[in-house]
Chains A and B, each alone.
Chain A
Amino acid sequence: MTEAAIPCAAAWRSRLILRLTLGLAVLVLAVLVGVVLGETPLPPSQVATVLAQKLWGAASGVDPIDAGIIWNYRLPRTLVAAACGAGLALSGLVLQTLVRNALADPYLLGVSAGASTGAVAVTIMGVGAGAIGISAGAFAGAALAFGIVAALARAAGGGSAQLVLAGIAGSQLFNALTSFFIAKSANAEQARGIMFWLLGNLSGVRWPDVALAVPVALAGLLACAVHIRALDAFSFGASAAASLGIAVRRVMVVLLGAVTLMTAVMVSLVGAIGFVGLVVPHAMRILVGARHGALVPASALAGAVFMIAADVVSRVLIPGQVVPIGVVTALVGAPAFALILIRNRSRA
């Protein structure tokens, strides 16, 4: 039985290539669907013509306004949604594994709240404006929030429950700070824009945002892929990982750094979108099992597809009006979160 279960290297490699190809195909399809659907659905043939024209310089007879909607508006928006979904799902997966808490994700642990505070502070003060400056502010805020939550959890005894409680405290603190900054410094117009962005919003996304989100998501994916065995070794905790030969401190620094970077960049671009990091990894555990060799690519792909779908829903749910994407992910995520709580009942 076991002998049959051992795939020979070549078969294993060809299966890997097949799965990666399949995954990429699904992702490309999801992006195309994301571009086709919207307030005014555009025919797929038109989308294909515009993409062919932009990518390969093919001739196109499409109305320039429709072409502009497709190329300058929907495509970057869909690509950023995919990158954000992948980044947040990977962040949740890594946090759940490293801190061994089924409820860990950047949103619940206060990392997203810290990133929001940092981004809002930079926006209002206007220092180093532009996507990079805001992302840097978000990174500083996220790292600070993470540090405070980790220190508080540790001081409270370092247990799993303490971490979630410390995360709630951290979220509240940084959300309050964000509100304080807005109330103190922003004018009415600014405040309205910031509040809308905080709920999660992909409307303002353009190509420069793609150039930031996609490389960061890919870098995060690479960091996770390199540490697949280390992530597996954390199944029985950090001490067990150390005795399996994992350099725990270095792995923690690299992976938690990657999580902070991904969360910060995604939050700075689209706002604090909850539940993706929590729900997607759990769904993937049920589908592909507990091993990170499958979990890492599956979570990244599913996160990307889920976020594209949530964005499409947010655009078509109420005709003529865009619902914040954070509202859509929470509407799906909260019931899923309840299911996870119930499923974990036996383990508690």
Chain B
Amino acid sequence: MRISATDLSLHAQGRNIVDGVDLQVAAGETFGLIGPNGSGKSTLLRLLAGLDRRARGIVELGGEPVSKLPRREIARRLAMVEQQAETGEALTARQVVELGRTPWLSALAPFGPADAAIVDNALQAVGMKSMAARAWATLSGGERQRLQIARALAQRPRILLLDEPTNHLDIHHQLALLRLVQDLPLTVVIALHDLNQAMGCDRLGVMAGGRMVACGPPDAVLTSDLLRNVFRVGATTLTDPRDDVSLLRFHNLETFNEIPAAAADAACKSRPCRNP
């Protein structure tokens, strides 16, 4: 399912946290959001999920404006995994994933064997099936993160929004998760900090100061100019001789001066992001 945003903005606490973002992500595409800390990635994801009533602009899921859809219908189309998820309730791992079935259940359609099978599959997909009976309080940060992703999968959405889902994960589970996300037949918008991981996305959008300053295929976006202006690092492109995939090795810029104003202005000019 397609997700698109038109002139999406959020003004709060005296500043524009998200500022006039235009975005179109095609059905089945994996779209990466990158940008420095505080650039508005997480807020943009929340706005795409329709979770902030103060937002201005239009978000459409499959061509229908999110503001016109009931929450239950949104939750059937779109699942979101936020960075923070905490509970004081004594839930088991399996019960957390079962919450994902909420938008599909009603008094007439209580939790049944089909739902249990979906929950099993979701637990399996993130490698948590053997820990299903464990209490949430006893799980590590990475295990909790994987459970939240399983919960999102159990929602059986068509669109998946992930906010830095590889945080807290060991390297094995990072790679497994990215592979899982890329193989899902879903539209995925994923905020990532690791630019080398972001290279695996179909397209990337670069956030800076609440605006989307660049958008396109990873090799077209991650230019040395952009890395210098937005991320304030230099980079050398290396090639893995095993499969000829190129990756970035970062280094500090020679000086730690602030970015020259003109370059920053040029970099921060908002550009609409459309499908190629």
Contacts and interface: CB of A to CB of B under 8 A. Distances in A.
A341 interface: no
Contacts of A285: 89-90
A248 B46 CA distance: 15
A289 B94 CA distance: 13
Contacts of A240: 82, 85
B75 interface: yes
Contact of A235 (B46, B74, B91, B113): B91
Contacts of A248: 71
B254 interface: no
B268 interface: no
A229 B105 contact: yes
Contacts of A239: 46, 51, 82
Given A9-B112, A290-B90, A244 B103 contact: yes
B116 interface: yes
B132 to A, nearest CB: 7
B95 A291 contact: yes
B72 interface: yes
A314 to B, nearest CB: 33
Contacts of B96: 235
Shortest beta-carbon contacts, A-B, top 3: A245-B75, A245-B103, A245-B72
Given A229-B105, A235-B87, A347-B137, A247 B70 contact: yes
Nearest to A232: B99
A294 to B, nearest CB: 12
B54 to A, nearest CB: 14
B89 A235 contact: yes
Contacts of A244: 75, 99-100, 102-103, 155
Contact of B99 (A8, A233, A289, A344): A233
Nearest to B115: A6
Interface in A215-273: 229, 232-233, 235-237, 239-240, 242-248
Contacts of B46: 239
Nearest to A8: B113
B49 interface: yes
Contacts of B76: 245
B56 to A, nearest CB: 19
B120 interface: yes
Nearest to A13: B110
A2 B99 contact: no
Contacts of A247: 70-72
Q: Quick one: which of B74, B82, B99, B132 has the most chain A CB within 10 A?
A: B99
B102 A229 contact: yes
25 contacts: A5-B116, A6-B116, A9-B110, A9-B112, A100-B87, A229-B102, A232-B99, A235-B89, A235-B91, A235-B96, A235-B99, A239-B46, A242-B51, A242-B71, A243-B78, A244-B99, A245-B75, A246-B102, A247-B70, A247-B72, A285-B90, A290-B91, A291-B91, A344-B88, A347-B88
Contacts of A236: 85-87, 99
A347 B105 CA distance: 31
Given A232-B102, A243-B78, A245-B103, 14 more contacts: A2-B94, A2-B120, A6-B112, A237-B87, A239-B51, A243-B51, A243-B82, A245-B71, A245-B73, A245-B74, A246-B71, A248-B71, A290-B90, A344-B88
A237 B83 CA distance: 13
A102 B89 CA distance: 9
Contacts of A291: 91, 95
Contacts of B120: 2
B79 interface: yes
Interface in B120-139: 120, 132, 137
A40 to B, nearest CB: 45
B76 to A, nearest CB: 7
B157 to A, nearest CB: 10
Q: Quick one: which of B87, B100, B137 has the most chain A CB within 10 A?
A: B87
Contacts of B91: 235, 290-291
B215 interface: no
Nearest to B155: A244
B153 interface: no
Given A2-B116, A2-B132, A245 B102 contact: yes
Q: Quick one: which of B49, B72, B88, B89 has the most chain A CB within 10 A?
A: B89
Contacts of A5: 116
Contacts of B90: 285, 289-290
B80 interface: yes
Nearest to B135: A290
A235 B102 CA distance: 12
A243 B159 CA distance: 12
Given A102-B88, A285-B90, A290 B95 contact: yes
A100 B80 contact: no
Nearest to A233: B102
A225 to B, nearest CB: 10
A102 B120 CA distance: 31
Nearest to A97: B89
